[in-house]
Chain A
Amino acid sequence: MQENRASFTCIVCPLGCSLVVFEDPGGEDNLLVEGNRCRRGEEYAVEEYRNPCRSLTTTVATVFKDCPRLPVRTRGEILLKDIFRAMQQINSLKVEQHMKPGEVVIQDLVGTGVPVIATGSTRPVLEGCSNVRAGFKY
């Protein structure tokens, strides 16, 4: 029985209902949802049971001394079950070129077709920017 059920906290609205999903013992592919106060919760629970997807945010190593890690994220979502494989690929990488937010770091993350993009910059300030200065004094 255990494997045929799962529980989630619904995050569709602030009420945060505790949902339980069962595989209907009678029906073939039917799922039963309990604990929801509305339809949206039911749809959420079924989606979370069948194909939970998440965006992944993490960091990548770089060769730059003053910026050892570059923050990155997936552009879009991947399956939750692929997350650890995705982390392995991202952690095997070392960024050697300067990057800024939006630039692609990995074209296709573990065969999902989803790219990984930089969310931060390897440079301390915007490129060509002159208004941010260290040690400046009036």
Chain B
Amino acid sequence: MQRTDFKVDTVVIGSGPAGMAAAVAAAEEGAGVCVIEREERPGGILKQCIHDGFGLLQFQEKLTGPEYSYRYLQMVENLQIPVLTKTFLLEIQHKENGFRLILQNESGVFSLNPRAVIYAAGCREKTSRQVFLQGTRPAGVITAGTLQYMINIQGYLPAGKCVILGSGDIGLIMARRLTLEGAEVEGVYEIKSEPSGLTRNVAQCLEDYRIPLHLSHTVTEIHGTERLTGVTVARVDENFKPLSGTEKFVPVDTLVLSVGLIPENDIIESLGVELDSRTSGPVVDQYNMTSLEGLFVCGNALHVNDLVDYVSESGETAGRAAAEYAARGLNHGDSNGKRVNLTPGNGIMYVVPQQWKIPMEEETVFYFRSRETVFRAELEVAAGNQVICREKYPVLRPPEMERLVIEPYLIPPGTKEIQFRLRC
């Protein structure tokens, strides 16, 4: 049955794994929650991620994206959480006692006035505008995620012979997918000296099909007027500058860009929430609440994740906290703004959440990434000038996010800053 009898006090934007986990957690805490989704089907990006490897942590099983998403959809169904599909969030306005969301669907423009909002709108791909490429803009230059959508959802193969620029996971997965569907992948070109994707994907997507990975290489020029006819590739030096004399023309009809993802935050940026330039997402506390009271962010909108299990975990955190906020107008004690800042030190790219609100009552999960690949790394967490925990890792790699749980009793009173750093 459609539930229309309850008052919506918590609205989730996005029905990807982050949004669904948040909605389930909020409903379990008793919130009147509903989910807004612009697409026809719930599930977010996982609908097109038909490969497996999802859910090892959440379900102890190797699931495909659609299967992982189906598990959550069943929970959403059991809890009778309304999901409004084909419904767009146009704007969020901040009001005295909550928010006003402007939404639009076939039945017109309408608004909801929840006390808490969980923003789980995912991320978007960097496009050719964000990478510097010389030449015209012929057809045949496409992002890996768009190509994945065309092949896996629409069932249409728009490529014959291709080059993939960037060795992010989506690019690696698409190299295999294209090969299986009969396209030819000439090679994957990566400007850095190591792959940006997971090792498992390098092995099972490239090595299995003998697709060459050219490290320290990039595409310098695009050829063709209407349709792409080829690209120029070249080796680069340590500063990523193409080395003259190493240019080579590769005749291809498709250039696939897999050059990274950025959190999708246009709508909340306009609310003036504090952003973290390292993650391109908002600054949040241990409840995934932003600098704007009552606005929570989770999943790839917060920072780009490589494991969907962590996406769901961040959704649960936001969902539970938002439900509490919607019911009581606060999260665990004072809102006088006292927080401890978490900062990345030597060798660390970022730490999320960036703030730990006082009182620190529960153990808290922190996610971090290293700047570079470091073998036998030793992480040190320092509160002020006191080291409160050390952790050893056989290897830390930037593409593989790490997770660390910190117990609040470890933090000395009066601490202002907690730093994550690598010992050198």
Contact surface of A with B, Cβ cutoff 8 Å = 8-9, 11, 13-16, 52, 54-55, 57-59, 61, 66, 68-69, 71, 73, 80, 83-84, 87, 101, 119-121, 124-126, 129-138
Counting CB contacts under 8 A, is B106 at the interface? Answer: yes
Q: Which residues of A contact B65 (CB under 8 A)?
A: 71
Given A14-B394, A134-B86: A57 touches B107 (CB 8 Å cut-off): no
Contacts of A133 in B (CB 8 A): 2, 82-85
B199's contact among A14, A58, A71, by CB below 8 Å, is which?
A: A14
| Central interface residue in B66, B108, B152, B208, by most chain A CB within 10 Å | B66
Q: Is there an interface contact between B180 and A87, defined as CB atoms closer than 8 Å?
A: yes
Q: Which residues in A have their C-beta under 8 angstroms from that of B80?
A: 131
Which of A9, A14, A71, A121 is the one whose CB lies under 8 Å from B400? A14
Within 8 Å by CB of A135, from B3, B52, B83, B86, lies B86
- Contact A121 to B70, CB < 8 A, known contacts A69-B154, A134-B40: yes
B84 vs chain A, min Cβ distance (A): 5
Chain B residues within 8 Å of A61, by CB:
155
Interface of B is mostly: mixed
Interface positions, chain B 198-220, Cβ under 8 Å from A, are 199-200, 202-204, 207-208
7 closest residue pairs by CB, A with B: A135-B106, A120-B66, A16-B199, A71-B50, A69-B155, A134-B86, A132-B83
Nearest chain A residue, comparing its CB with the CB of B67: A119
Chain B residue, CB-CB nearest to A117: B67
Specify which of A54, A57, A120, A126 is in contact with B74 (CB 8 Å cutoff): A126
B395 — which chain A residues lie within 8 A by C-beta? 14-16
Query: Given that A14-B199, A71-B66 are contacting pairs, would A138 and B394 also be in contact in the complex, using a CB cutoff of 8 Å?
Result: no
| Interface range for B | 35 or more
Contact check, B83 vs A58: say whether CB atoms are below 8 A apart: no
Cross-interface CB contact of B77 among A9, A14, A131, cutoff 8 Å: A131
CB pair B50 A58 closer than 8 Å: yes
**Contact: A54 with B108, CB < 8 Å?**
no
What residues of chain A lie closer than 8 Å to B8, measured between beta carbons? 138
| Complex partner residue of A125 from B42, B67, B107, CB under 8 angstroms | B42
How close is B138's CB to chain A, nearest CB, in angstroms? Answer: 27
Q: Which of A15, A58, A125 contacts B394 (CB 8 A)?
A: A15
In the bound complex, CA of A73 to CA of B50 (Å):
8
Can you list 30 pairs linking A and B with CB atoms under 8 Å apart? A8-B207, A11-B200, A11-B203, A15-B395, A16-B199, A57-B50, A57-B64, A119-B50, A119-B64, A119-B67, A121-B66, A124-B40, A125-B42, A126-B74, A130-B1, A130-B2, A131-B83, A132-B76, A132-B77, A133-B83, A133-B85, A134-B85, A134-B87, A135-B106, A135-B107, A136-B87, A137-B103, A137-B107, A138-B34, A138-B112
**Closest CB-CB distance, B157 to chain A, in whole Å?**
11
Docked Cα-Cα span, A61 to B153, in Å, equals 10
Q: How far in angstroms is the closest Cβ of chain A from B260? A: 21
Q: Given A14-B397, A15-B375, A131-B77, 17 more contacts at CB 8 Å?
A: A11-B199, A11-B204, A14-B395, A58-B180, A59-B50, A71-B65, A73-B50, A131-B76, A131-B81, A132-B73, A132-B82, A133-B83, A134-B86, A137-B84, A137-B103, A137-B107, A137-B110
Contacts of B203 in A (CB 8 A): 8-9, 11
- Whether A101 and B66, one on each chain, are in contact in the complex, defined by CB atoms closer than 8 angstroms, is yes
Known interface pairs A11-B200, A69-B153; A57-B86 also in contact (CB < 8 Å):
no
In the complex, residue of chain B having the shortest beta-carbon distance to the beta carbon of A74: B52
The answer to the question of B105 belonging to the interface, with a C-beta cut-off of 8 Å to chain A, is yes
Q: Which of A55, A83, A101 contacts B70 (CB 8 A)?
A: A101
B51 touches A68 (CB 8 A): no
Q: Which residues of A contact B155 (CB under 8 A)?
A: 59, 61, 68-69
CA A84 – CA B179 in complex, angstroms?
9
Question: B70 — which chain A residues lie within 8 A by C-beta?
Answer: 101, 119-121
Instruction: Please determine whether A129 and B199 come into contact, CB atoms closer than 8 angstroms.
Output: no
Flag if B40 contacts A68 (CB, 8 Å): no
Known: A57-B52, A83-B180, A131-B83. Is A13-B208 also a contact (CB below 8 A)? no
Interchain CB contact under 8 A, A57 and B208: no
